[in-house]
Amino acid sequence: MEEQSCSFGVVTETKGKSARVRFQRSAQCSHCGACLTAGEHEMEIELENSVGAKVGDRVTVSLAPKRVVQASLLAYAVPLVLLIAGVWLGSLISELAALIFGVCACGIGYLILRLFEKKSKKDRFRPRIEKILGGEKEADV
């Protein structure tokens, strides 16, 4: 069984097959940009409502740690590798060219990631609602 990073949240809105969930920002998910900031210590994200949660329901929201690592590698490694390659290539010409090539290559890396994010039809890097938390009964996915 794969270990999951879980947060507990409250459904604030439902729309069709999606639900907006507000939860406390944890150290694991701070500042990744996948969620909307809803306050100093809170975040909000719209997710597929596969468990049929209603407004006011407490739910668990999780993302496999493997996906967190993969997303981090993509977000940081791709621009860094392109930055280094741009600096190296530019340094063959001059120091100024190294600076310009490095910054441009890093920017291109972020543009590539942005395009990849928009064209990616799989939601493998998105958290999902695992279950509704209740008194004695819990609805599992």
The domain segmentation of the chain, as residue ranges, is 5-140
In this predicted model, which residue has the larger pLDDT, 112 or 24?
A: 112
Q: Given this model, what pLDDT does residue 73 score?
A: 84
Say if residues 28 and 72 touch (Cβ distance below 8 Å): no
- The 8 Å CB, 24+ separation contacts for 76-80 are 78/109, 78/112, 78/113, 79/106, 79/109, 79/110, 79/113, 80/106, 80/109
- What pLDDT band is residue 85 in, cutting at 50, 70 and 90? very high
How many other C-beta atoms lie within 10 A of the C-beta of residue 94? 11
Q: Given this model, what pLDDT does residue 135 score?
A: 40
Percent of the chain with pLDDT over 70: 73
